[in-house]
Amino acid sequence: MFTNAIVRTPCKNMIKGLTSSTEGPPDYLKALIQHKIYVDALKSCGMEITTLPPNDNYPDSTFVEDAALLTPHCGIITRPGAHSRRRETNSMKRVMTDFYDDIEEIKSPGTVDAGDIMMVGSHYYIGLSKRTNTTGVNQVIKILNKYNLTGSTIALSEMLHLKSGLSYLENNNLVVAGEFTDNPEFQKFNLIKIDDDESYAANCVWINDYVLIAKVYPKTKQSIEQIGYETIELDMSEFRKLDGGLSCLSLRF
């Protein structure tokens, strides 16, 4: 059960955000509307929302998920792998003190984007990616262990982040796409396999038995509804242009 979410309103400079997409820059006004609808969806799932103000110094700062890992026992400030994103953590630190007594921090030369970290109960899968390095992974695992939590590493080579292709929907249900589909680590789960033509939809978000999914990916929607969840479809077109998905837009705890 999650009760809180932290989000950050997109800034005008989001049009300069990092991307591998060829779709062109996002439409800022459209992104603002999509973000508002996203926040309304979180509220409809019972979440209390803390909204951080837009910050034009950091074009990608609306993707708050990467700047921190919030566990039931401690908050961890990350050290994002992209230089342009590194100081997004400053304001995150301040807001986390409202919720956590224990705040830990990833230190140089470690880098971690928390989009690379997937929580499954008290275990955390940590992607070794272009953004998250081995030193960063080891620091995360050491911190988790201190709070009786565990972590393990998953290597990735194609996706931006671990959660670009994996979403845990509780009750042993795991949405999986692309390079993770045949990974032996995940075969113990009830796998909801996403076809390549819908792989963007693999980034979805379980919140209190609702699942937020991107619009319009009918096969994914049907598979998730078949296992008993109510889905809420959200238009993510402008965030997709920056390689961002649904989970990236909030920290849920």
Catalytic center residues: 161, 248
Look at the block and give the residue holding tokens 């989000």: 7
Is the distance from CB of 188 to CB of 205 less than 8 angstroms?
A: no
Q: Is 17 one of the binding residues for ligand CIR (CB under 6 A)?
A: yes
Helix (H) or strand (E) holding 30: helix 28-44
For ligand CIR, the nearest residue by Cβ is 115
Choosing from 194, 204, 224, 248, the residue that interacts with ligand CIR (CB under 6 A) is 248
Residue 191 beta carbon to ligand CIR: minimum distance, rounded to whole angstroms = 21
Q: Is 63 one of the binding residues for ligand CIR (CB under 6 A)?
A: yes
Is the omega angle on the peptide bond into residue 10 within 30 degrees of 0, that is, cis?
Answer: no
| # residues near ligand CIR by CB under 6 A | 18
CB neighbour list of residue 50: distance below 8 Å, 6 or more residues apart: 4, 5, 6, 7, 95, 98
Q: Is 115 one of the binding residues for ligand CIR (CB under 6 A)?
A: yes
Q: Is 60 one of the binding residues for ligand CIR (CB under 6 A)?
A: yes
Q: Is 127 one of the binding residues for ligand CIR (CB under 6 A)?
A: no
Q: Is 164 one of the binding residues for ligand CIR (CB under 6 A)?
A: yes
Instruction: Map the footprint of ligand CIR across residues 26-55, applying CB under 6 A.
Output: none
Residue 164 beta carbon to ligand CIR: minimum distance, rounded to whole angstroms = 6
Q: Phi and psi (nearest 5°) for 162?
A: -55, -45
179-188 long-range CB contacts below 8 Å, 24 or more apart? Answer: 180/154, 180/156, 183/154, 185/125, 185/152, 185/154
Residue 174 beta carbon to ligand CIR: minimum distance, rounded to whole angstroms = 17
| Cβ proximity to ligand CIR, 60 vs 238, nearer residue | 60
Identify which range of 120-128, 187-195, 204-212, 239-247 contacts ligand CIR by CB under 6 A.
239-247
Residue 64 beta carbon to ligand CIR: minimum distance, rounded to whole angstroms = 9
Gap between the Cα atoms of 142 and 24, Å rounded = 40
Q: Is 245 one of the binding residues for ligand CIR (CB under 6 A)?
A: yes
Choosing from 15, 52, 82, 120, the residue that interacts with ligand CIR (CB under 6 A) is 82
Residue 221 beta carbon to ligand CIR: minimum distance, rounded to whole angstroms = 20
Is the distance from CB of 192 to CB of 173 less than 8 angstroms?
A: yes
Footprint of ligand CIR (CB under 6 A): 17-19, 60, 63, 65-66, 82, 85, 115, 160-161, 164, 242-245, 248
